[in-house]
Amino acid sequence: MWDEAIRVATIGFSGVFAVLVILTISIKVMSYFCKLIDKKGGKR
Amino acid sequence: MGFDIFHELFLKTGIIHLTIGHVFMWLIGFLFIFLAIKKNFEPLLLVPIGFSIFLVNMPIAPLTGPGELINLFFKYGIETEIIPCLIFLGVGALTDFGPMIANPKTLLIGASAQLGVYVAFFGSIVLGFTVKEAASIGIIGGADGPTSIYLSSALAPHMIGMVAIAAYSYMSMVPLIQPPIMKLLTTKKERKIRMKQLRPVTKTEKIVFPIVAAIVICLLVPDAAPLLGLLMLGNLFKECKVVDRLLKTSQNELLNIVTIILGIAVGATMKAEVFLKPQPIFIFILGLFAFAFSTAGGILLTKTMNLFLKEKINPLIGSAGVSAVPMAARVSERVGAEADPKNHLLMHAMGPNVGGVIGTAVAAGMFLGMLK
């Protein structure tokens, strides 16, 4: 049981971090493109 | 003849079936209602939960048997996992993700505030719970009621009531539990750190965010899709400004209806014969540990980030990484104002706060992916 518990906790905690790091990067990229779109829209 | 009729009537009343256990549960129900009305602790939930505890501890009342009223609420609302997801729709419709979009690294604080989930998970294993039960107990540390119910209904349905009660109790006690831990882990100088005002977030960013977040999360953690998918749909209702009727329904009528059903269904799990055992006491103690460690996890990561950042983050916003929205953020504001009355941390703390909602749902999704 301890083996399974350690596996679940290790994968779980690092998984949460990994997903949120990817989401952080995605938001940065999204913001960059949104600003670009807004700038283009503003110029028109 | 007359005596026989009265005797028969008396046998059909609940009085003869009343036990000390029932009366004890009435006291717990009364305590919940008292905390809600007198202390204003999560009244929208504690009033229906408290009253439901009264109702289900009325002996022989036809409420929780197969096909009976509260049993149906539970069967179709909780066991099918519909209610937690609909609550997330309402939460999404009420949440402003702007502070998190303006400062996305606060999402990582939301991740670190899941530390308590895993501390309580191991604590539960030590106390003899199974891995699935331990996951359900651990998620209390995320301080997110709907997610706790969602996870335990899938992994340990027999524990939903205890887990939900513990989660909501600690959520309502955020202003009592967090400040001592926050003060213990920070210096006065750190508590005085002033943060730069957040940049304005454009309308386009706010509209695109729920779509991007739904794609990223649903692809990476499919088991979190029911919760986070509806959270993001609710948020899209809010930000797109073209579905006013759907937005209002999600924020008000729908959320209120599911909250009533949730409160009644959760309270109904607290029957004397189930609740008066050592297990719930262990769950409450482990829940408190989970909550404390989650608070500490958020603060400690913020302090670690400060070692590498040019513009320092006030570590008090780390405690808001638990997902009790917006109470945890308000606690950060209040403790910060005690150190420096002109320092306003509320908007900064909303970033990790909503990040914590996502973090807890992802943690639940990871548990489900591995254990379901």
Query: Closest by alpha carbon to B298, among B177, B170, B182, B175?
Result: B182
Is the pLDDT confidence value at B84 over 90?
yes
Cα of A23 to nearest chain B Cα, Å: 7
For B7-59, the pLDDT digits (tens) are 888 888 888 889 999 999 999 999 999 988 998 888 888 899 999 999 999 99
Token pair for B263: 């409160």
Number of domains in chain A: 1
Domain ranges of chain B: 1-59, 82-371
Chain B residues with CB-CB distance to A28 below 8 A: 104
Partner residue opposite B366 with nearest CB, options A11, A26, A31: A11
Residue B217 contacts residue B358 (beta carbons within 8 Å): yes
pTM (2 d.p.): 0.91
Least reliable range by pLDDT among B61-65, B184-188, B216-220, B344-348: B61-65
Residue position matching structure tokens 């979190």:
B224
CA torsion B347-B183-B40-B48 (nearest 10°) is 90
Question: What percentage of chain A exceeds 70 in pLDDT?
Answer: 95
Residue B119 predicted with pLDDT over 70:
yes
- Integer Cα distance of A20 and B71 in angstroms: 38
ipTM of the complex, rounded to two decimals: 0.93
Lowest mean pLDDT among B54-63, B242-251, B270-279: B270-279
Measured between alpha carbons, how far is residue B327 from residues B27, B311, B334 in Å?
27, 26, 10
Structural domain of A5? 1-44
A24-43 residues touching B, CB cutoff 8 A: 24, 26-28, 30-31, 34-35, 37-38
Residue B305 — very low, low, confident or very high, per pLDDT cuts 50/70/90? very high
Q: Which of B108, B111, B125 is nearest residue A5 as measured by Cβ atoms?
A: B125
| Whole-number pLDDT of residue B1 | 58
| pLDDT, position A43 | 63
